[in-house]
Amino acid sequence: DIIVKSRSFKMEVSINTWIMIGKFFDYTFYRLAKRYIKTDGCNHFTALVSISLIQFLYLLTVFAIINKFLLGDLTYITSNRLINLAIFGAVFLPFYFFNKRKYKGKYFIFRERWKNETKKIKFRNGLLMILFMISPLISLFLVAFWIGKTNF
């Protein structure tokens, strides 16, 4: 178990929690790769971009919280769109290349693992996957509303 202590809070995260989160990413990759296999082929571009975007949005949410409470509310979004695009690329691309390397050749392993899902389990897992995919957006908007940065 990993224990993070601070003056204001104590958080315990078990290794099993991290494994479960990793399985959400694996299952999401598998279902998206399966959905777009005809258009993407074996490079699974759509699945990799989706997974990377989810990770990026979670990181952005954490950064917004850190920015507000630990760094004294620094402004990190500029009015220059080119600079924002460069920042996005500098943060997003490492996620993409990490995931590309991580999931290389894993589609068929995941297909063997999840090919015998019943329709009921596939439906339930599909709903959980959709919730998992939209949760970083929801959390980012909630944090933005909470800290008062709603003028995107």
What tens digit of pLDDT does each residue of 105-120 get? 999 999 999 889 899 9
Q: Residue with structure tokens 């759509």?
A: 46
Angle, CA of 75, 79 and 80, to the nearest 5°: 120
Confidence of residue 3 (pLDDT cuts 50, 70, 90): very low
Query: What is the mean predicted confidence (pLDDT) over 91-104?
Result: 93
Confidence of residue 1 (pLDDT cuts 50, 70, 90): very low
| Residue in 31, 33, 24 with CA at minimum distance from that of residue 100 | 33
Residue 107 near residue 44, CB atoms below 8 Å: yes
Would you say residue 139 has pLDDT above 70?
A: yes
Exposed/middle/buried for residue 98 (C-beta within 10 Å: 0-12, 13-18, 19+): middle
Higher-confidence position of 4 and 92: 92
Confidence of residue 9 (pLDDT cuts 50, 70, 90): very low
Q: Give 129's contacts (C-beta < 8 A, 6+ positions apart).
A: 24, 27, 28, 31
Output the average pLDDT for the chain.
80
Q: Could you report the per-residue pLDDT of 23-59, keeping only the tens digit for each?
A: 889 999 999 999 998 898 888 999 999 999 999 988 8
Amino acid identity, position 46: T
Q: Identify the pLDDT of residue 108.
A: 92
Per-residue tokens: 91: 């943060």
Q: Could you report the per-residue pLDDT of 50-74, keeping only the tens digit for each?
A: 999 999 988 888 887 777 777 655 5
Would you say residue 140 has pLDDT above 80?
A: yes
